[in-house]
Structure formats: structure tokens, C-alpha cells
Amino acid sequence: MAFDYIIIGAGSAGCVLANRLSEDPTTSVLLLEAGDKDSNFWIHVPVGFTKTLNNPEVNWNFKTEPEDNVSGRSIPIPRGRVLGGSSSINGMLYVRGQPLDFDTWGQLGNRGWSYSDILPYFQKSETFERGGDDYRGGSGPLNVDDMYERHELIEAFIDAGVEIGSKRNPDYNGADQEGFGYYQITQRNGRRESTARAFLNPAKSRRNLTVISRAHATKILTEGKRAVGVAFEVDGLPREERANAEVIVSAGAVQSPQMLELSGIGQPELLRSHGIDVVHELQGVGENYRDHYAARMNWRVNKPITLNEETRGLNLVKEAVKWAFTRRGVLTWTAGVGHGFMKTREELESPDVQFFFVHGSFKTATDRKLDKEPGMTLACYQCRPESQGSIHIGGDNPYDAPRIRPNFLANKLDQDTLVAGLHLCRKIGETKALGQYIDHEMNPGADVTTDEGMLQFARDTGATTYHPMGTCKMGSDPMAVVDDRLRVHGMEGLRVVDASIFPTMPSGNINAPVIMTAEKAADMIKEDAKARATQAAA
């Protein structure tokens, strides 16, 4: 059987595409997902993200290559391996970014990707609980809520932001990102709202949509310079399906370049070194990798009012019962609760650092095991990092993890901005509003005061915030992989639709921009199909 479209990857982008492309009952769509169904209990309990971030049943559990810039450490890169992809395991924070981010894409020559062009797709995708307006959507598939609960430490953090010269901002996804407040979240009635739940589930009953889970794509089938199908394995058994119109790679910024390279599309020298026949040369495949690298400061709190106490013993039992019957309470908390977007220099036009405040502290910078004593954590990262790395195959085995070399903190601007952000974190902790709750600073500690000390702390303890992007970037320069309609340069019938196409980093968590990208891509795919049909009939 042949399908019109084959989508590789049922993640944040793939689920959106499957829904929108199958809206036309005359169009057949095949969606392939290497992971299983999203039946794991912890996917749907919001606080369960702490259980899924290293669970191999739903997570690829990738890691970076050890690098000197981060003190020789290998850093975890969680990626969803389940229907819904990373939207089924992430921290559920909904952050669009700044208009400047997308206007930059347009200025780079990507027609149709400036802020005024993409805003309607953000609106189309969401239902914002406060209702739609000039910036927000009111009738889309994805439910975006305000954080359900309130807490005195979060309120103090917001007051602290105002105290150091910022402002309260109840909608950082609206007219202006700058300021402090509570994060908005992808939840519905106290449960995670993944793209599988929001987009795929409503479309599953359509006869023209076929979803195959546990289907590991091994190669894009090509004839000359045209993609004609996909080879994949289901529970170890090989299969092939043909695509009449297009193959769409939506495997994410880690695995989309891997899929292209396994199929002979990429840097010839690299492909030949692994015994892969070159189908098409594209030097940019796997390059331009960026991610948000965060450092986390924490403090010992002088009152037993933090998550550290609320999630232990009988308290946790009470909260579990509360969530089961009301969908409220501690179990609805997410990866970050309080937000802050600030400028580290007065001359900047828009914020260049983002803060995540949690009324709890963790044993290490990279795990999610809470301390036994009261604590709080404030994380910071640079909104638009300049340091670039790469993601490439390490061999011809499609089951082997690609080699991830992020090159974090290689750029001097990245170093300076993160250090300035950490100094702002300390300044926030020293305010009257928040300082009244603090016993002492635990990490990096009051004795670390210099820029050099702060930078070393970031190198020793920092970690990605799981926002890989850019490895199949959009553009028209020699290192671009796709054009501004997301078609792979030099190939026919092949597109990439996910975070890998971002030419530069959006200022914030990337799940919302990925969903927007898929919404826009679906319209472009439909437009191109209509144009082909018109041309064929002429």
C-alpha cells in the first residue's frame, strides 16, 4: 500500500502534521513512531516528568560527548521515545519566544517566517484559558493553562524581580516577554497536554490516518534525487512503505540529521567513512546545533514550606489523593514555576536571560531528587546562545545513538551573559522580598564572588535544559539544509519539520515554536500539493 505522506516521528511536530494533513479525507497519511503508546502513568501526572526524564521506556536517554568546556562531563539529553515525543516527557512550560527571534529568521531571508507571519500559527494551535486576543488563541487543539497553584515563595520571587527593577508580567507570550510571573503550562484539567493528546488522539479514528508505533525508521528510500518511501522495522521485522507525495522527517533535532545521514544525505566524507553511499551532498546536515545551557543556584530556606517537605511521607500520600480527586495540588507542579525574563545590559532591546524558580532544591544539578531540608532553586540561561556544536552518526547502525558535541560556552558572549545572569540570581536572593526566607546560599556558595568563579561553577555543574535545535537549519546559505518551505535542498519529495530547522535559537523553551512550525508546515504542504495538482491538470 502506498501513502501520500509518510511522517517519521510522532513527536511534537509529527502529531500536529498527522492531524492537519489527514483533515483532507482524500489524503492518506502514515505516521511512524519508534516508541510505544503513551500509556505510561507518569506521562499524564504533571510532576511525573521527574520519572520520565531518564526512563528508557519513554526516553532515548541520549548523552553528549565529554567536552572540556563543561569540565570533561557528559551531559544528559533526554528525548521522548513515545507517542507525543518530548511533549510527553517535558516540563510542560509554554514559551513562544520574542518577536525579535522570528523577525531575525525573516531577515536571514526565510520568507514567511517573520513574527507577523507566524503569530497566526501560534494562535491557531492553542486554546489559552484566559481567552483569545490579538496575541493568543482561543479555539485551538492545545490547551494552555496558567499555573494552577500559588505559593508564598513564588510570590516572593516575583516581588524580588520587581524589587531589582523589573516588572510583573502576567502574559510573557503576549505583547512583551520581559518581566516576572508564573509560567504558563501545557495542561488540561491538571493533566499533561502532549501533542499526542491534543492533536493525535482526535485524529486517530480517521480512516486515512495510519499510526504505527514501535516502528524504527532505518532509511529514507530514494530514487535519484527523490524520496519515495521509508524503510523501517516493527519489533525487529523489516518493512517498507512508499510515499506518493512526500516523506516528512520529524524525528527531532537529534535524530532528523541522523535519519538523513543514514539515508546518504549529508557530508560525503563523513558518510563514506561509515560505508554509506552518498545520495546527495549537504554540508549543513548535523551542524548548527545549539541548546540552552543553564546553571542552577540554590539556597537553604528557613521555613518548612518547600516541595522538599510537601512531597515526603504522609504529605505525598495526601497530595496524591488530592490530585486523583481534584486534579490540583503538588502533583500539578512543573519543571519551573516562577519565570523571569531580563536584560543583562541596559542597551539591549529585549531580555537575554531567562530564569526558572522552583520552591524546592535538589541533591545535584542534574537529578530530580529533592533535598530532605527546605530549599529553593533559581536556574538561569542565556536566551539566544551563539555557541554551536554538531550531531552526527557514529556508524551505519540506525539503532546506535548519534554523537552529540554541543560545544557549550565556547563563545565569549555566552560566557559573559550566563555569568551576568548568575549575578542577577544572587541579587534576587539578596532582596528583602526573598531574603527573609533564606538561611544561606548552598551553591555556588557565598565565597564564589568573581566572574571567573561563577563561570567555573557553570562549567562544573551546568546542564542543558533539553532544547536541541538547528541541525537541519532553514535558509539559503551553503550550510542550510532546508529552504523556507522546509523542503530539503536538492531533493524532491522530502521535508524536515521539527526544531532542527530553526536557524537561530528562540528566546525560551522550544516546544511552542515546534508546534507553530508544524502548523505552518502543514499549510505549506497542502498549498504545494494543490499547486502540483493544478500544474498536472494544466
Give the pLDDT confidence score for residue 317 in this predicted structure. 87
Alpha-carbon span 309 to 513, nearest angstrom = 35
Output phi, psi for 457, to 5 deg: -60, -45
* C-alpha cell at position 220: 529514507
Domains and CATH numbers, the chain: 2-60+70-537 (3.50.50.60)
Separate counts of helices (H) and strands (E) for the chain: 16, 25
- AA identity, residue 103: D
**Closest-CA residue to 368 (of 335, 333, 340):** 335
Alpha-carbon span 200 to 214, nearest angstrom = 16
Contact 176, 31 (CB under 8 A): no
Give the pLDDT confidence score for residue 537 in this predicted structure. 83
**Closest-CA residue to 524 (of 86, 116, 111):** 111
**Closest-CA residue to 153 (of 256, 303, 276, 44):** 303
**Closest-CA residue to 378 (of 365, 396, 394, 392):** 365
Contact 223, 247 (CB under 8 A): no
**Closest-CA residue to 463 (of 379, 532, 523):** 379
User: How far are the Cα atoms of 55, 104, 247, 468 from residue 2, in angstroms, in the given order?
Assistant: 35, 39, 12, 33
Alpha-carbon span 522 to 511, nearest angstrom = 17
Alpha-carbon span 349 to 383, nearest angstrom = 13
- Active-site positions read 467
- Please list, in sequence order, all residues whose beta carbon lies within 8 angstroms of the beta carbon of residue 6, skipping any fewer than 6 positions away: 29, 30, 32, 229, 230, 241, 243, 246, 247, 248
Q: How many CB atoms lie within 10 A of CB 127?
A: 19
β-pairing, 62-63 with 280-281?
unpaired
pLDDT in tens, 414-437: 999 999 999 999 999 999 999 999
* C-alpha cell at position 440: 544561606
- Please list, in sequence order, all residues whose beta carbon lies within 8 angstroms of the beta carbon of residue 179, skipping any fewer than 6 positions away: 161, 166, 167, 168, 169, 172, 340, 341
Q: Is the four-CA dihedral 467, 473, 479, 481 of positive or negative sign?
A: positive
Digit-by-digit pLDDT tens for the chain (538 residues) are: 799 999 999 999 999 999 999 999 999 999 999 999 999 999 999 999 989 988 999 999 999 999 999 999 999 999 999 999 999 999 999 999 999 999 999 999 999 999 999 999 999 999 999 999 999 999 999 999 999 899 999 999 999 999 999 999 999 999 999 999 999 999 999 999 999 999 999 999 999 999 999 999 999 999 999 999 999 999 989 999 999 999 999 999 999 999 999 999 999 999 999 999 999 999 999 999 999 999 999 999 999 999 999 888 888 889 899 999 999 999 999 989 999 999 999 999 999 999 999 999 987 655 667 888 999 999 999 999 999 999 999 999 999 999 999 999 999 999 999 999 999 999 999 999 999 999 999 999 999 999 999 999 999 999 999 999 999 999 999 999 999 999 999 999 999 999 999 999 999 999 999 999 999 999 999 999 999 989 888 7
Give the pLDDT confidence score for residue 370 in this predicted structure. 86
Q: How many CB atoms lie within 10 A of CB 1?
A: 7
pLDDT in tens, 370-399: 888 999 999 999 999 999 999 999 999 999
**Closest-CA residue to 414 (of 378, 384, 390):** 384
Quick one: DSSP state of residue 450? S
Query: Phi/psi class of residue 49: alpha, beta or left (left: φ > 0; alpha: ψ in -120 to 50)?
Result: alpha
User: How far are the Cα atoms of 133, 145, 255, 259, 486 from residue 390, in angstroms, in the given order?
Assistant: 39, 35, 12, 15, 20
Give the pLDDT confidence score for residue 527 in this predicted structure. 97
Alpha-carbon span 119 to 103, nearest angstrom = 11
* C-alpha cell at position 444: 555556588
- AA identity, residue 278: V
Give the pLDDT confidence score for residue 312 in this predicted structure. 83
Contact 474, 503 (CB under 8 A): yes
The reply to whether the predicted model has a pTM over 0.75 is yes
Quick one: DSSP state of residue 253? H
- Mapped onto helix, strand or coil, the DSSP state of residue 276 is coil
Q: 497553584: which residue's cell? A: 149
Partners of residue 469 on adjacent β-strands: 290
**Helix-strand-coil split of the chain, %, nearest 5:** 30, 25, 40
